[in-house]
Structure 1
Amino acid sequence: MCAVNDDQPDEWFRNSSSSVWGVLAIGAAVAIIVVDAITGWHPVTTAGAVLFALVAYAAFIRTKVGVSNGDFVLHHLYSTVRFPMAALESVSVGRTLGAYAGGRTYVSGAVGRSIRDAVKGAKRDHNPLRNQTDFIEDRLNALAQDARDRRRIKRDSEEQFALAEDVRRTWDWPLIGVTVIVAVVFVVLFFL
């Protein structure tokens, strides 16, 4: 199926702390490399720090959810899943984001509630003006409804389920390759 560009501007979401933690983790890895170089270079320490920085990048910086070119997009650690926004039945956010389309659930850790808010569940106040995850949940559900309205597709219709068949997963092979190479180098150096 061909994706329809609904002239919807790109919108991306992640927990506000993700970028901060990612930068801090990568900064810590760089600091370890610098300190190791100053105090007497150990290749295993450098390889471990580089591996840590790569995984921190994948987990905290790369992961996000959003809308791009009329598609719902989930950037995972090493892959990207996308399908037409109109196929999205609903989004709910607990500890992780759950997106439902075509009878399947797509999960992303890019957006999630704190343990305290997740435990409260229905007892907590739903306030998109003060709570980022409530805003993201409401915004994605509204964008999905807008996409269905533009295509004149009813929710839970055969047309919507047909759109959900257009799920595409791509892998970030360069990042996977670099991570595997650094991991192998780290393991070899560790056991030498």
Structure 2
Amino acid sequence: MAEQEVERFTVWGSRIIGGVGLAVVAVVLVLGVAGVGDPYHPAAYPVCGLVALLIWVMLIRPAVSVADGRLVLRNPISSVRIPLASIEHLVVRQWLAVRAGERRFTSSGIGRSYRQGMRDDQRGNVTGVEIASLSYGAIVERRLQKLAEDARTREGVEQYSDEQMALAADVRREWAWPEIGLGAALVLALVVTLLV
């Protein structure tokens, strides 16, 4: 079986800011473990862990990709896998919004500012080399719309049809159990250190 091509879309600004945030938390932890300055209260360590986890789930984890004929929306504590042919409407504004069946899904993995959206809308329907003048969010929006249209054509599914509604029933949500478990453990550690 041939491997399916995977396309990933992400906003690097949030990942860079998240990386800097994680580095700052790591420095604070190293200084505390090394005993530089006044000793930390034991609760400082789970707080640093919670801050690092929050940076991870809010800034680094969110992403959008296409794999195996599905749009994958990786959000802070879950991932949603939507069959491309089931997508009725898709738009990128402050975040990506997708409608499949009677359900709506969002992802902060891709977005564009209000100003970028206005500028892109004023340019109208651009093609060819002119597409480079659009924001990254608008380029991703057009690419995802094209992938969804191609999937509908390939599968012989008309937009807003009963077949498309049936495909939308195959949307799957997977919870980010490692992040959820780590968050619960850190909260428990914080409570224990505050009570002791």
> What TM-score results when the alignment is normalised by the length of structure 2?
0.85
Residue type at the aligned position of 2:53: L
The number of residues matched between the two structures is 187
Corresponding position of 1:186: 190
Corresponding position of 2:86: 87
Map 1:38-49; keep pairs closer than 5 Å: 38-39=36-37, 40-49=39-48
Structure 2 residue 57 is the aligned partner of structure 1 residue 61: no
Structure 2 residue 152 is the aligned partner of structure 1 residue 148: yes
8 Å Cα contact 1:81-1:170 kept in structure 2: yes
Residue type at the aligned position of 1:174: P
Corresponding position of 2:123: 125
Map 1:155-174; keep pairs closer than 5 Å: 155-174=159-178
Give the Cα–Cα distance (whole angstroms) in 1 for the partners of residues 155 and 178 of structure 2.
36
Give the Cα–Cα distance (whole angstroms) in 2 for the partners of residues 17 and 91 of structure 1.
23
- List alignment gaps of at least 5 residues for structure 2: none
Corresponding position of 1:102: 101
Task: Provide the aligned C-alpha RMSD in A.
Answer: 2.3
- List alignment gaps of at least 5 residues for structure 1: none
Give the Cα–Cα distance (whole angstroms) in 2 for the partners of residues 90 and 6 of structure 1.
29
Select the structure of larger CA radius of gyration. Answer: 2
| CA-CA distance at 1:123 after TM superposition | 5.3
Corresponding position of 1:77: 76
8 Å Cα contact 2:120-2:138 kept in structure 1: no
Corresponding position of 1:138: 142
What secondary structure is seen at the aligned counterpart in 2 of 1:143? helix
Structure 2 residue 18 is the aligned partner of structure 1 residue 22: yes
What secondary structure is seen at the aligned counterpart in 2 of 1:98? strand
Residue type at the aligned position of 1:183: V
Residue type at the aligned position of 1:125: R
Using a 3 Å threshold, how does the CA distance of structure 1 residues 85 and 7 change in structure 2: closer, same or farther? farther
Q: What whole-Å deviation, never above 9, does each CA across 1:1-46 have from its counterpart, x for those lacking one?
A: xxxx996511111222121122111111111112223222432222
Corresponding position of 1:10: 6
| Segment of structure 1 superposing worse, 160-169 or 16-25 | 16-25
8 Å Cα contact 1:101-1:164 kept in structure 2: yes
Residue type at the aligned position of 2:169: E
8 Å Cα contact 1:18-1:61 kept in structure 2: yes
What secondary structure is seen at the aligned counterpart in 2 of 1:113? coil
Residue type at the aligned position of 2:123: D
| CA-CA distance at 1:135 after TM superposition | 0.7
> What TM-score results when the alignment is normalised by the length of structure 1?
0.87
Q: What whole-Å deviation, never above 9, does each CA across 1:79-120 have from its counterpart, x for those lacking one?
A: 1111211111221111111011112210111111124335x3
Give the Cα–Cα distance (whole angstroms) in 2 for the partners of residues 106 and 65 of structure 1.
12
